[in-house]
Structure 1
Amino acid sequence: MLEPWNSATLLPPPVNMFLCVTKFDVSALKHVFNNITKVLSKQSPLHKESAICSRFLYKYDQKFRNDIGYRNFRKVNTALKKYLALNLLKEVENFLLALPSESDEDLYLPTRQMLEFVLLRIITFSKIMLRVCVCSKQAAVFYLNRIKRGESHWMSLLPYALLSRLWSMSMVLLQHTTTWYTNLYPYLNKLQAKGMNFLPDNYNLPEDLEQWLDLKNVDEFGRFDWAQKKFIDVDHTLIDGDDNDLFDNILGYVNQNNEDEAESDQQEDIKPLPLLEKSQENPLPVPTVAKIDHGVVLSRESFKTLLNSNKNIRNDYKRPPPAPSVKVNEHSPERITNSDSLKKFIETEERFRNESDSKSLTSHMSLMQWHALKNALLKLCDKVTNRKIDKKFHKIWKQKCLDYM
């Protein structure tokens, strides 16, 4: 079952009045409702931004329909449509018309159920503004990343500026709603309930809307936990102390390392070289002159045979050795030959990226660039009869991976 504030089919309670006998400050209650009416009646800038948002989405739906930032942008537009369909100003004006004037002798006040319905609509309004705030921040992260990379920056500046304006307006209205709710909630105990309760049993309105929405941590909403993280080991001796002492810490760190190396060199035992014992000088033997070998007489036929055999031996030595076989890594683009090997390559690369492994071939690419490469390769796998898949793969790999280095 949906919460009452999240139900669009919740009917308002009937207009009913009761005679107030106790003292009641009608002027203070009117002042709060007049303030709400004044703020909500001046939201034409938000309506203009909503119209620009819907036109932008209609124009670039075919081009950016698969972009993650564009999908978050559509969530912002959906939340703005719900804001326009809520019409909180009408409910506030209806309650304000039911309040008596100061000149009336008898105070006939609206019932408690009518004020509860207004508070429920304020909660719905605050939830919608919080949704706009969170989704606009999530979408702006991707468009800002495109602007930094220079990828379709002229098309990303307009949505980024639009999302920034929507975020600021929603934050202001969110702060207004918490103030309105805080001022109206104490009047629940002063108004009487007449007729049947339109709220479910055992359902109570929150006492503090700011705490219920957790607005203290609103800056943490919309942040992403990236799967690919880089862990860097930092020597904490360099960051101890103030920022002004960073230069001294670096010099001290270098000097300490030099002193440690010098001490380790001094502690090493230097072993002396063994002295060579003087050997008795023996007279060198005088070689005896051997007899001169004049050889054997050979015929011309035997000499030619010997010469040809020597030439064959030399030719065998001149032949180059066989080239060693090149070993291809298991995770390499060179192994892509068919759709199965391509799917295995994509799964392995996805696992290496999530684990921040050094074997990852796309570690230099951002998350959006990797998704673009992955989608292009998956489309290549989906084709049943795909000829020359290796050539098409290397073409996509060069355009979407190697060119980003």
Structure 2
Amino acid sequence: MLDIWNDCNLLPPPICTTLHTDKIDVKKLKHIFHNIINILSRQSPLHKESALLSRFLYKFDKKFRNDIGYRNFKKVNTALRKYLSMNLLKDVESFSSVLPSSGEELYLPTRQMLQYILIRIITFSKIMFRTCVCSKQSAIFYMDRLKRGESHWMSLMPYSLLSRIWSTSLVLLEHSTSWYTDLYKYQDKLVLKGLDLLPSGYELPNDFQTWLDLDNIDSYGKFNWSIEKQKFDPGILENDESDNILDYVKQINEEYAENDDLPEPDKVISEETQLAIIEELPVIDKGETISRDYFKKFFKTESVPDKNSHTSARVTNKSSLQQFLKNEESLRNDGDDQSLTKHLSFMQWQVLKSSLEKLNESLANNRKIERKFQKIWQEKCLDYI
């Protein structure tokens, strides 16, 4: 059975009012509903972001259809479509229109009408909660693509869109919790008239923020990338007499004492016996010690460029730029520590290499080449360190 807040076929109760003789702060109740209407009627930016998100789904469906981040991206779109279809503003305006004005008799709505508004606020909060979690999970994958330099233009735009949707939905989620807390106090003050709206035995949550687990919303958007290691309890061996290490050592000592063939622990071996044992051992050739510089001469080849000559500061013209790219490519392929771009991934190196090759094919003079090379080198290599 679905929860009542998750039932899309839930019909509103009939509009009915009853006369109240008790004192109820109607002015504060009207102020709460005026605040709700004022906030919900100004969500046109969120509606525009929702429309923009649906365009991204149409554009990226072929390229990212098997990506996990894109799947969470689609979940955000589904949650926003449910938000647009529920139309909480219409229900709040319908309830607010029945509230009496100042100077009139206290004909207030029934308790069923307020319970229906509370249920709709719970549904609204759940949708915003779902939007926050899915948008954060999707943004993690797009940010990872940006760091790796993979499809960065097609990842930067949805990442910024998800960030705006996440911030807006989080603000609306906090507003909805305050709305529910303020309206829940009036539930017992209104009169129950007619059939019950809630099922038998069902009660609305008293502490809505704890029921929604809003304090731990940041932990819902995280992924468990690694399996938790099993913790070892050292007290297990101490409590178990059969596996106690002290009893095990005691048992071994008793077995040694019963066996007469084993040597006594206090028995001292003579020096002649020790020399005879040492002579029988094989001779180990430990080699000859050499210096580190002499050891490096074995691996030096003339084809590998000198470390001092391979530097970005020597690029001043097209010929030096072409030679620099050639040396860096060979050093990266050999896995040499002299490579200046060894900290870059394969995709990041390809982005840097393509930019430098375009610079080499341009018609700029040597001075512009040197200046543009230092700018590209700083943005696409040094900034990643």
In which range does the TM-score fall when normalised by the shorter chain?
Answer: 0.5 to 0.7
Aligned to 1:76: 76
Runs (4+) of structure 1 exceeding 2 A deviation are 227-231, 271-274
Matched, 1:180 2:155: no
User: How far did 1:107 drift?
Assistant: 1.0
Aligned to 2:47: 47
What are the superposed Cα offsets for residues 82-130 of structure 1, whole Å, 9 maximum, x if unpaired?
00001000000000000011121x2110000000000000000000000
Aligned to 1:35: 35
What are the superposed Cα offsets for residues 25-74 of structure 1, whole Å, 9 maximum, x if unpaired?
11010000000011101101100110110000011112211111000000
Distance 1:139 1:101, change over 3 A: same
Cα distance in structure 1, aligned partners of 2:182 and 2:222: 32
Aligned to 1:25: 25
Aligned to 1:101: 101
Which consecutive unaligned segments of at least 5 residues does structure 1 have? 232-270, 275-365, 367-405
Aligned to 1:206: 205
User: How far did 1:20 drift?
Assistant: 0.4
Cα distance in structure 2, aligned partners of 1:229 and 1:32: 47
Aligned to 2:238: none
Distance 1:96 1:59, change over 3 A: same
Alignment RMSD (CA, Å): 2.0
Distance 1:107 1:159, change over 3 A: same
SS of structure 2 residue aligned to 1:22: coil
Aligned to 2:131: 132
Structure 1 segment 285-364 matched on structure 2, within 5 A:
none
SS of structure 2 residue aligned to 1:99: coil
The residue identity in structure 1 corresponding to 2:198 is L
User: How far did 1:230 drift?
Assistant: 10
The residue identity in structure 2 corresponding to 1:180 is W
Distance 1:76 1:200, change over 3 A: same
Using the size of structure 2 for normalisation, the TM-score is 0.59
Cα distance in structure 1, aligned partners of 2:229 and 2:167: 33
User: How far did 1:6 drift?
Assistant: 0.3
User: How far did 1:227 drift?
Assistant: 4.2
Cα distance in structure 2, aligned partners of 1:80 and 1:220: 22
Matched, 1:150 2:149: yes
Using the size of structure 1 for normalisation, the TM-score is 0.56
Cα distance in structure 1, aligned partners of 2:112 and 2:152: 52
Aligned to 2:117: 118
Aligned to 1:376: none
Kept in 1: contact 2:115–2:197 (CA 8 A): no
User: How far did 1:229 drift?
Assistant: 8.2
SS of structure 2 residue aligned to 1:187: coil
User: How far did 1:228 drift?
Assistant: 6.7
What are the superposed Cα offsets for residues 330-376 of structure 1, whole Å, 9 maximum, x if unpaired?
xxxxxxxxxxxxxxxxxxxxxxxxxxxxxxxxxxxx9xxxxxxxxxx
What are the superposed Cα offsets for residues 276-308 of structure 1, whole Å, 9 maximum, x if unpaired?
xxxxxxxxxxxxxxxxxxxxxxxxxxxxxxxxx
User: How far did 1:222 drift?
Assistant: 1.6
Distance 1:78 1:156, change over 3 A: same
Cα distance in structure 2, aligned partners of 1:31 and 1:154: 46
Aligned to 1:195: 194
Aligned to 1:166: 165
Aligned to 1:141: 140
The residue identity in structure 1 corresponding to 2:42 is K
The residue identity in structure 1 corresponding to 2:179 is W
User: How far did 1:23 drift?
Assistant: 1.1
SS of structure 1 residue aligned to 2:97: helix
Which consecutive unaligned segments of at least 5 residues does structure 2 have? 231-270, 276-344, 346-385
